[in-house]
Amino acid sequence: MKLIRLITTLGLVVIAAASTLTPPVLPLIVRNPYLSTWLSSARKNPWEQWPIFWTGQSIGFSVMASVPATNSVYPLLGRPHDSLSREDKRFQVSKPEYLGASFDASTTNLTYLLPGPAHKDSWGASHRETLQLTLSFLSPITPTSTFRQSIPAAYLSVIVEGDFDVDIYVDLNGEWVSGDRGSHIKWELNESGRSAETDADTSSPSAPPIKTWKVVREVEQLFTEFADRAEWGTLYFSAPASVRHESGVSAGIRSEFARTGMLGNSNDNSFRRIMEDEPVFAFAKSFRLQENKTTTDSVLFTFALVQNPIVQYASARGLTYMRPLWASYLATPDALIQYHYGDFQTASKLARRYSEQLSKDAFESGSKEYEEIASLSARQVLGATEFSGTPDNPLLFLKEISSNGNSQTVDVIFPAFPFFLYTNPQWLAYLLEPLLEHQLSGQYPNDYSMHDLGYHFPNETGHDDGNDEYMPVEECGNMLIMGLALINAFKYDTTPAFGHSGSAEAATDMAGAAMFALNESQAVLMDACGLDRPWGMDNDASTGEVTMTGSKQAKEWAARSYKLWKQWTGYLVRESLVPRWQLSTDDFAGWLAYQTNLALKGIIGIRAMSDIADLLGENEDAKHYRNISDTYVTKWIEYGISRDGSHAKLAYDWYGSWTTLYNLFADSLLCFHIPEENSSSIGSPIHSSVFIPDRIYKAQSDWYHNVLQRYGLPLDSRHLYTKSDWEFFAAAITSRSTRAEILASVARWLNETDTDMPFTDLYDTEGTGGYPPGLTFKARPVVGGHFSFLALERACGGKAMQALDYLNADSKPPQLDVQALLDAEREPFLEVPEDEEEQQVDEL
């Protein structure tokens, strides 16, 4: 792809070079499960197809440019040119030169060249100037400003650089507020921050004047979805007050712009169905570069989908309608929209700092390809979440996007949680809190951890009958592992990724970007809540401190749920060593008894409970669970590792099989693989100074090298499909050479796959790299697992990754005859001693 010029205009910085990876779909506006717009077929020109919602259904969103000097109209995004008559001689539809896409964690840029009028030089030669135009989509990730992260809104900057005039057109339709094209919608234009409902001025005296299209269903359906889109909530589409606007039939408005480069500043008040004489809501901006004698200019648009309430949740006080977190600080949606528009400079700087730090860390941890994989994954993780609660008790709700729509699914949070450990561990606490509060209140009847908080988001109503999906070993292990990981993050380092390069540098950078001025009542409220420091970070984060740091806060957090930790560990003691017929998180693979990887998760969960108990001074519990886990892990090695020690079996009784042992990642993440100094109350360990022996890590690292396919590491020996989240869990604890091979294979897949949905985590490692039959996962937050390398490097005060240096002793992994090793392992079925585990528990 061609190099893209660096543009700096009005404080906007566009990425200098196109990204090296070419994923099939790119995020454009991705903030939550319902504000989620993507560029489909991203390897093609952006005007060859409509943008899509995360489900793959198209969504009405188009951008055009017009060059008055040539009467040429250029489609840039979507297919608005389908509405333009080829017979109209007043304009001609042409195609721009597309320079390609670039992206970081928060931004996607689409860059074009538009030809200008031809002219002759002094020698009579004909020349044609070009104008560079960039569509810069920003969904800011701001780990040091939870308030900003909670705002359900995103930005589009249109940036031009050239010597001739150009007009820009942007429109949306009603598909942003309903998945049912037959829904009746209504709309209005709100100008300069004035609310049509109250006729009150909601803007600050220093706020930039804006105009906003407000679109909503005529009859909203609270907590209801149609084709996974929300049937309640209002779309706010904003632009500077100086731009032209118009609503009406799509073909008519687009044709008017194509002819004149302008809109009529009029509003069609004939409310109707979404696709009935398709109403669109448009803005147009004229850049008069020649008249103004400038070569650069820009315009800013914002998009918000405002819902209040956002979910219903079975809290400790009963079924509760939950407000969005931002509503604790800003009294009205109009105030939110005005604040968000004026906050662009600060939000973009915070987002850029996170993106730059992520790029630096990921590149150093893996490669340029890893940097881009992590960046591509970040918005997708947060695109499944909604911030709620209060400043004193924030909550983060999550939808299991695409696989079944469950709410707060534990085994979806688990693969995603490395992202939160790296980005802001407090967000992980907010994510676990609804599950902990609900189960502490006694609303869930089983003695193991629940699978989810509701069959379908946004209805987090629990399972008082206990009939949620049955994954007890899986979910108990997940909760205990995440619980201790969060406790350790509090103990060791909770500075968000933004602050890695030094809080002083961050403070200096942000001090120059004063928070957008609020009106007096808003400012008083924000100050009273302690929401923002002068440069807009969460309270105390600007000095490198956050609310929950150190052992004291870790103890407070762990102690409140100690009853649950112990209850779930009791289940694991009974069931994890020899897990009978159960599902693991990979439920699409079916039920299976004696799963080696699942058993390991449960055993590590028991070991985690020992550390939790030790932290809280529960010495007898700590010794008890440590004794059990050490004994179990010895048995697990006997049952689950092949007789020649070359690999882990898929199941204890499945000889000649193998599995990706991704749950081994937790052993390192929780600091169990660091040689102990015996400083705890437990005393000397029973067997060795590390929990899982080095030889298991070495064997798995070598095995992965030998079973790697063109597009990645298969999940196990049954199929050639893989899960990208588990690939990264596994790769994080391999040798550098094996890790590099896995990274390269995933990058190759991203460049070549024929999947056509937002970043799938489940795909075939051979063939076209497509979806496995009948399994079309897309846009799922589990891609947070791609941050496994980064989370591990921060774990245990930086010692977790160092403890794996021995894996790099050999320059190359050994070449194994995989088939011969598997054939040699196959023997007649050997009965697993099911009663041994129960006898062992009695003895302990």
* Sequence-separated (6 or more) residues with CB below 8 Å from residue 771: 755, 760, 762, 763, 764, 777
* Domain boundary assignment for the chain: 8-117+126-353, 393-502+544-843
On whether the 8-117+126-353 domain is CATH 3.30.70, my answer is: no
Q: Give how far Cα 261 sits from Cα of 202, 447, 522, 659, Å.
A: 31, 66, 39, 60
pLDDT tier at 590, thresholds 50, 70, 90 = confident
Alpha carbon 125 to chain centroid distance?
52
Q: Give how far Cα 455 sits from Cα of 93, 366, 406, 552, Å.
A: 48, 38, 5, 36
% of the chain at pLDDT higher than 90? 79
Amino acid identity, position 356: E
Taking only the tens place, the pLDDT of each residue in 241-253 is: 999 999 999 999 9
Q: How far apart are CA 782 and CA 503, in angstroms?
A: 30
Q: How far apart are CA 340 and CA 342, in angstroms?
A: 6
Average pLDDT over residues 763-773: 96
Stretch among 200-209, 275-284, 427-436 having the lowest mean pLDDT: 200-209
pLDDT tier at 828, thresholds 50, 70, 90 = low
Q: Give how far Cα 41 sits from Cα of 58, 135, 170, 754, Å.
A: 12, 17, 20, 10
Amino acid identity, position 748: R
Amino acid identity, position 721: Y
Is there a contact between 625 and 599 (Cβ–Cβ < 8 Å)? no
Q: What is the pLDDT of residue 497?
A: 61
**Residue that the structure tokens 């749950």 belong to:** 663
The angle, 0 to 180 degrees and rounded to 10, between the axes of the packed helices 550-560 and 596-615 is 120
pLDDT tier at 537, thresholds 50, 70, 90 = very low
Q: How far apart are CA 766 and CA 744, in angstroms?
A: 14
Q: How far apart are CA 654 and CA 596, in angstroms?
A: 10
Q: How far apart are CA 602 and CA 458, in angstroms?
A: 30
On whether the 393-502+544-843 domain is CATH 3.40.50.720, my answer is: no
The pLDDT mean for the chain works out to 89
- Tokens for 698, please give them: 């070495």
Q: Which residue intervals of 325-424 are DSSP H helices?
A: 333-342, 344-365, 368-382, 410-423
Query: CA dihedral defined by 85, 88, 90, 91, rounded to 10 degrees?
Result: 40
Listed residue (18, 31, 25) closest to 302, CA to CA: 31
**Residue that the structure tokens 């712009």 belong to:** 257
User: What is the DSSP annotation of 811-829?
Assistant: SSPPP--HHHHHHHH--S-
The pLDDT of residue 50 is above 90: yes
- Tokens for 498, please give them: 């933004």
Is there a contact between 690 and 630 (Cβ–Cβ < 8 Å)? no
Q: What is the pLDDT of residue 831?
A: 52
Q: How far apart are CA 585 and CA 777, in angstroms?
A: 14
Side-chain-side CA neighbours of residue 259 (13 Å): 16
Taking only the tens place, the pLDDT of each residue in 727-759 is: 999 999 999 999 999 999 999 999 999 999 999
Average pLDDT over residues 338-358: 97
The pLDDT of residue 76 is above 50: yes
Q: What is the pLDDT of residue 676?
A: 74
Taking only the tens place, the pLDDT of each residue in 547-582 is: 445 788 889 999 999 999 999 999 999 999 999 999
Q: What is the pLDDT of residue 22?
A: 95
Q: Give how far Cα 635 sits from Cα of 596, 599, 686, 833, 840, Å.
A: 11, 11, 14, 11, 10
Listed residue (795, 654, 689, 815) closest to 733, CA to CA: 795
pLDDT tier at 540, thresholds 50, 70, 90 = very low
Listed residue (369, 358, 334) closest to 418, CA to CA: 358
Q: What is the pLDDT of residue 683?
A: 54
* Sequence-separated (6 or more) residues with CB below 8 Å from residue 782: 412, 415, 416, 723, 725, 761
Average pLDDT over residues 305-328: 98
Count Cβ neighbours within 10 Å for each residue of 542-571 and write b for 16 or more, e otherwise: bebebebbeeebbbebbeebeebbebbbbb
Average pLDDT over residues 641-656: 96
Which is more confident, 332 or 688? Answer: 332
Q: How far apart are CA 620 and CA 769, in angstroms?
A: 51
Average pLDDT over residues 770-796: 96
The pLDDT of residue 714 is above 80: yes
Q: What is the pLDDT of residue 18?
A: 59
Q: How far apart are CA 782 and CA 760, in angstroms?
A: 9
Average pLDDT over residues 66-88: 95
% of the chain at pLDDT higher than 70? 85
pLDDT tier at 220, thresholds 50, 70, 90 = very high
Q: How far apart are CA 699 and CA 691, in angstroms?
A: 16
The pLDDT of residue 137 is above 70: yes
Q: What is the pLDDT of residue 552?
A: 85
Q: Give how far Cα 841 sits from Cα of 109, 566, 625, Å.
A: 58, 16, 11
Q: How far apart are CA 657 and CA 709, in angstroms?
A: 17
Taking only the tens place, the pLDDT of each residue in 430-441 is: 999 999 999 999
Q: How far apart are CA 172 and CA 78, in angstroms?
A: 10
Amino acid identity, position 807: L
Amino acid identity, position 762: L
Q: What is the pLDDT of residue 682?
A: 56
Q: What is the pLDDT of residue 531?
A: 45
Q: Give how far Cα 786 sits from Cα of 375, 415, 479, Å.
A: 10, 9, 19
**Residue that the structure tokens 């309430």 belong to:** 309
Amino acid identity, position 255: S
Taking only the tens place, the pLDDT of each residue in 447-487 is: 999 999 999 999 999 999 999 999 999 999 999 999 999 99
Q: What is the pLDDT of residue 545?
A: 33
Burial of 3 (0-12, 13-18, 19+ CB in 10 A): exposed
Is there a contact between 210 and 238 (Cβ–Cβ < 8 Å)? yes
Amino acid identity, position 451: H
Q: What is the pLDDT of residue 550?
A: 74
* Cα angle value 205/206/208 (rounded, 5°): 110
- Tokens for 832, please give them: 């697993």
Point out which residues pair with 103 in neighbouring strands.
108
Listed residue (563, 540, 559, 543) closest to 551, CA to CA: 559
The pLDDT of residue 80 is above 90: yes
Burial of 685 (0-12, 13-18, 19+ CB in 10 A): middle
Q: How far apart are CA 803 and CA 151, in angstroms?
A: 40
Q: How far apart are CA 444 and CA 465, in angstroms?
A: 7
Q: Please state whether beta strands 52-53 and 225-226 pair in parallel, antiparallel, or not at all (unpaired).
A: unpaired
The pLDDT of residue 687 is above 60: no
Please check whether the two domains, 8-117+126-353 and 393-502+544-843, share a CATH topology: no
**Residue that the structure tokens 């918000």 belong to:** 304
